[in-house]
Homo-oligomer: A and B are copies of this chain.
Amino acid sequence: MKIGLLQCNLVSNDIERNIKTIYAALSKAAEQGAELCVTSELALCGCPATEQLTRTAFIEFCRVKLQELAGRIEAEKLPPLLIGAPIANPVPEGKPLQNCAAFLRSGKVMVIDRKVLLAADGTHDDFYYFEPGVGLGVLQFNGWRFAVAIGEDVWNDRGFWHGRRQFYADPVEDFMTGGADALINLTGIAFSLGGCEQHKKVLSWSAAKYRTPIVAVNQVGGMDSAIYPGGSMVFNACGVLREQAALFAEDVLVVDLDKLRECDSDEQAGVKMSEEEEVWNALVLGVRDFVSKCGFSKAVLGLSGGIDSALVAAIAAEALGKENVLGILMPSPYSSQGSIDDSLELASNLGMETITVPIAKAMETFGEMFAPSFANTKPDTTEENLQSRIRGITLMAFSNKFGRMLLNTGNKSEAAVGYSTLYGDSCGALGVIADLYKQQVYALSEWINKRKGFDLIPRAIIDKAPSAELRPDQKDSDSLPDYPVLDALLRAHLGDKCDREELIERGFDIALVDRVLRLLRGAEFKRQQNPPALHVSTHAFGHGGRMPIATSFK
């Protein structure tokens, strides 16, 4: 039994485009001898599911297009297809839609499986749209009995959730008491550091436990904040990963399942990447897809001479081509000559164009405009924010005039403590490194320099003390703890969910803990107006539940 894994780059809601993509992959798999093909979860409408799925006419459109595809597959004698799709709930109670796997064969659409354990992670909010199913589906085909599981339906085991089962139900265990020749898992799992490894462990463990090969097909490509990494997997009945599709790229993988029913080999497949390589590839894919799926080809960003904008420029040049990235230098009287020189050297290394637009004149003009009202006040952050906002306006003018998407260069450490100016450096269509702590920004910059074999990002940019340069001799460390300490504290609080007492137990200074937690909560109003951020962690801002803005609780 040759099974084809169709790892496609899909677009939320664009059914016709997705069908073209899937059809092309199916044809390719057929050429390679696939007898049965499988897509990722909700491949028809693309992950993540969106509000569009609450529209009856859209669901009907999905139904018609799925039926057409079934007809086309039959007419062209392509292999039968197990496809992830939203399908109307046949029962007149509960939500009107289900997250399904449908089998397209003999010109017909048969619903095989309905997702049981619905996701609720802030990006994938199955609960808004879908009525859950009650157990895994079964696909009988060519003498094989496949268990079919969608997404999280395979994720439930005591071993993997901090000692606590995520759900009461365990659909795989329930099904496997009846046995299966293999398990097929259609997934739409977005990239997060460590997340792919965890999913792999769960699948490997299940394959070995039930002595059943597992085929797991994942989506690939950027979709707003989510970056689907692909990396579809095939395990033998001993839980060994025997084949893996490309990471961060489309792929069609055709695998002979027969030999995987036994422990054919201990040889692990799959590419090992360092953390930095994974993040680099994810962000490049995320930028490329966000820009192109928005219908843009060119980008613009501000180059400050700092590490954040330097790294974003390097990612953008890789994603879009150096000729499509424009850097704007906007020196003020507080900008050092070093910052200007470093930015120009960076742009020269990358081969990208720059324009310099000094902002002193605008600072002066606004100063005069506000003078009558500000006469009896002292300079404060108002004037610093003003500079940042003049730069924001300038970048947006170049974005609007030349149809270039503005890339935002803020990092996660800044966003956490509100060390940014709303409508200033927070401007942009996409937060490219907004889910990277400052220390990760440094590590990724060093990594890309090493990979390129020279200082693509000039050494001076990496070595200088971080500064917003909004007043003379300003350093980030005037306002913030040193980044290694700040990042460690934020990781413990946001990632490990350590609260005040636990942070203090871990050795962080009490005054520092209180200050950082206060800053963190007080910056919620800024974060809620930030551009969407490419997610590379399990605890990105804007991911999962929300925090209140208007609360006296700090």
B369 contacts A14, CB within 8 Å?
no
A164 contacts B96, CB within 8 Å?
yes
A75 within 8 A of B: no
- Chain A 423-449, CB-CB to B under 8 Å as 1, else 0, gives 100010100000000000000000000
Interface residue ranges of A520-554 to B (CB < 8 Å)? 525, 528-532, 544-553
B-chain residues with CB within 8 Å of residue A365 when the two chains form the complex: 361-362, 364-365
B-chain residues with CB within 8 Å of residue A55 when the two chains form the complex: 497, 499
A160 within 8 A of B: no
A50 within 8 A of B: yes
A205 within 8 A of B: no
Segment at the interface with B among A120-128, A180-188, A338-346, A451-459: A120-128
B547 contacts A14, CB within 8 Å?
no
B-chain residues with CB within 8 Å of residue A295 when the two chains form the complex: 552
Assuming the contacts A164-B92, A377-B401, A389-B393, asked whether A501 and B361 have C-beta atoms less than 8 A apart, the reply is no
Residue among A53, A397, A531, A547 facing the most chain B CB atoms (10 A cut-off): A397
B-chain residues with CB within 8 Å of residue A500 when the two chains form the complex: 57
Looking at the assembled complex, report how far the CB atom of A57 sits from the nearest CB atom of chain B, in whole angstroms.
3
A552 contacts B14, CB within 8 Å?
yes
Interface residue ranges of A43-97 to B (CB < 8 Å)? 46, 48-58, 92-96
Q: How far is the CA of A13 from the CA of B368 in the complex (A)?
A: 43
B129 contacts A125, CB within 8 Å?
no
- Tallying the copies of this chain within the complex gives 2
B355 contacts A293, CB within 8 Å?
no
B94, B118, B369: which contacts A165 (Cβ < 8 A)? Answer: B94
A396 within 8 A of B: yes
Q: How far is the CA of A397 from the CA of B545 in the complex (A)?
A: 32
Looking at the assembled complex, report how far the CB atom of A503 sits from the nearest CB atom of chain B, in whole angstroms.
10
Q: How far is the CA of A332 from the CA of B57 in the complex (A)?
A: 46
A293 contacts B552, CB within 8 Å?
yes
B-chain residues with CB within 8 Å of residue A427 when the two chains form the complex: 423
B-chain residues with CB within 8 Å of residue A502 when the two chains form the complex: 57
Segment at the interface with B among A235-243, A307-315, A380-388: A380-388
A394 within 8 A of B: yes
Looking at the assembled complex, report how far the CB atom of A375 sits from the nearest CB atom of chain B, in whole angstroms.
11
Q: How far is the CA of A392 from the CA of B385 in the complex (A)?
A: 12
A393 contacts B396, CB within 8 Å?
no
A550 contacts B223, CB within 8 Å?
yes
Known: A92-B165, A129-B545, A223-B548. 20 other contacts (CB 8 A): A50-B546, A50-B548, A54-B544, A57-B500, A57-B502, A95-B166, A118-B127, A224-B548, A289-B550, A294-B549, A294-B550, A355-B373, A357-B373, A362-B366, A366-B393, A366-B397, A369-B394, A380-B401, A386-B393, A389-B393
